[in-house]
Amino acid sequence: MEKRSGPAFRLSARFRPHAGFVVANALFAAIFVALILSAFHAPSPHGLPVGIVAPATVTGQVEDTLGAADPGGFDLRIYGSEAAARAGIAHDEVDGALIASPGGLRLLVARAGGGAPAQALVTAFGTVAARTGTPLAVADVAPPLPGDSMALSPFFVVLGVLFPSLAAGSASALAFRRARPAWGVAAPVVVAVVVGTVAAGIADGLAGLGSYPAVAGIVALFSLAVAAPTAALGRVWPPLVSAAVVVFMVVGIPVSGGPSGLASFGPGFLRVLHPALPLGAAVSAVRGTVYFGGYGTAGPVWTLAAWAVAGTCALTMVIAWRRRSPEVRLPLLADLGTAVARPPAGGPGLLLPACLVVGFDNSEPAQRALGWAARLAAARSWSLHVVYADHVRIDSDLSGFGHGEIAAARDREAAGVAEAAADILAQADIRCSFERRQGTPADAILSTAAALGATPSGDPIIVVGRSGHAIRHALGSVPVHLLHHSPYPVLAIP
Q: Are 238 and 396 in contact (CB under 8 A)?
A: yes
Would you call 383 helix, strand, or coil by DSSP? Answer: strand
d(CA 342, CA 346): 11
Q: Residue 57 sits in a domain of what CATH number?
A: 3.40.190
Domain for residue 8, yes or no?
no
d(CA 226, CA 238): 16
Cross-strand partners of 311: none
Tally of domains in the chain: 3
Convert 50-83 to b/e letters by CB count within 10 Å (16 or more is b): bbbbbeeebbebbeebbeeebeebbebeebeeee
Could you tell me if 199 and 314 lie in one domain?
A: yes
Amino acid 344: pLDDT: 40
Domain for residue 463, yes or no?
yes
Domain for residue 11, yes or no?
no
Q: Which of 277, 302, 324 is the last residue of a domain?
A: 324
Could you tell me if 157 and 136 lie in one domain?
A: no
Q: Are 111 and 144 in contact (CB under 8 A)?
A: yes
Q: Residue 157: left if φ>0, alpha if ψ -120 to 50, beta else—which one?
A: alpha
d(CA 394, CA 172): 10
Could you tell me if 347 and 288 lie in one domain?
A: no
Convert 388-421 to b/e letters by CB count within 10 Å (16 or more is b): bbbbbeebbebbbebeeeeeeeeeebbeebbebb
Kindly report the backbone phi and psi dihedral angles of residue 48, in degrees, each rounded to the nearest multiple of 5, phi listed first: -65, 120
Q: Residue 424 sits in a domain of what CATH number?
A: 3.40.50.620
Domain for residue 178, yes or no?
yes
Could you tell me if 222 and 307 lie in one domain?
A: yes
Could you tell me if 193 and 239 lie in one domain?
A: yes
d(CA 172, CA 190): 11
Could you tell me if 382 and 416 lie in one domain?
A: yes
Could you tell me if 243 and 306 lie in one domain?
A: yes
Amino acid 402: pLDDT: 55
Could you tell me if 344 and 311 lie in one domain?
A: no
What is the CB-side half-sphere exposure of residue 303 using CA atoms within 13 A?
Answer: 20
Q: Residue 236: which domain range?
A: 153-324
Could you tell me if 306 and 346 lie in one domain?
A: no
Domain for residue 174, yes or no?
yes
Beta strands 96-101 and 104-109, pairing class: antiparallel
d(CA 34, CA 27): 11
d(CA 290, CA 281): 14
Amino acid 470: pLDDT: 39
Could you tell me if 243 and 283 lie in one domain?
A: yes
d(CA 238, CA 454): 36
Amino acid 93: pLDDT: 94
Would you call 491 helix, strand, or coil by DSSP? Answer: strand
Could you tell me if 161 and 277 lie in one domain?
A: yes
Q: Are 287 and 256 in contact (CB under 8 A)?
A: no
pLDDT by 10s per residue, the chain, length 494: 444 555 555 556 566 777 877 888 898 899 999 999 988 988 899 999 999 999 998 899 899 888 888 889 999 999 999 999 999 999 999 999 999 988 889 999 999 999 999 999 999 999 888 888 889 999 999 999 999 999 999 999 999 999 999 999 999 888 887 678 888 899 999 999 999 999 999 999 999 999 999 999 999 999 999 999 999 999 888 889 999 999 999 999 999 999 999 999 989 889 999 999 999 999 999 999 999 999 999 999 999 999 999 999 999 999 888 665 444 443 344 333 333 333 344 444 444 457 889 989 888 888 888 988 888 888 887 889 999 988 765 555 555 555 666 777 788 888 888 888 888 888 777 778 888 888 788 888 888 888 887 776 667 888 988 765 433 443 347 888 787 788 888 888 87
Q: Are 117 and 95 in contact (CB under 8 A)?
A: yes
d(CA 256, CA 251): 9
Would you call 153 helix, strand, or coil by DSSP? Answer: helix
Domain for residue 28, yes or no?
no
Domain for residue 145, yes or no?
no
Could you tell me if 128 and 157 lie in one domain?
A: no
Q: Which of 140, 168, 185 is the last residue of a domain?
A: 140
Domain for residue 43, yes or no?
no
Amino acid 395: pLDDT: 54
Q: Which of 299, 324, 349 is the last residue of a domain?
A: 324
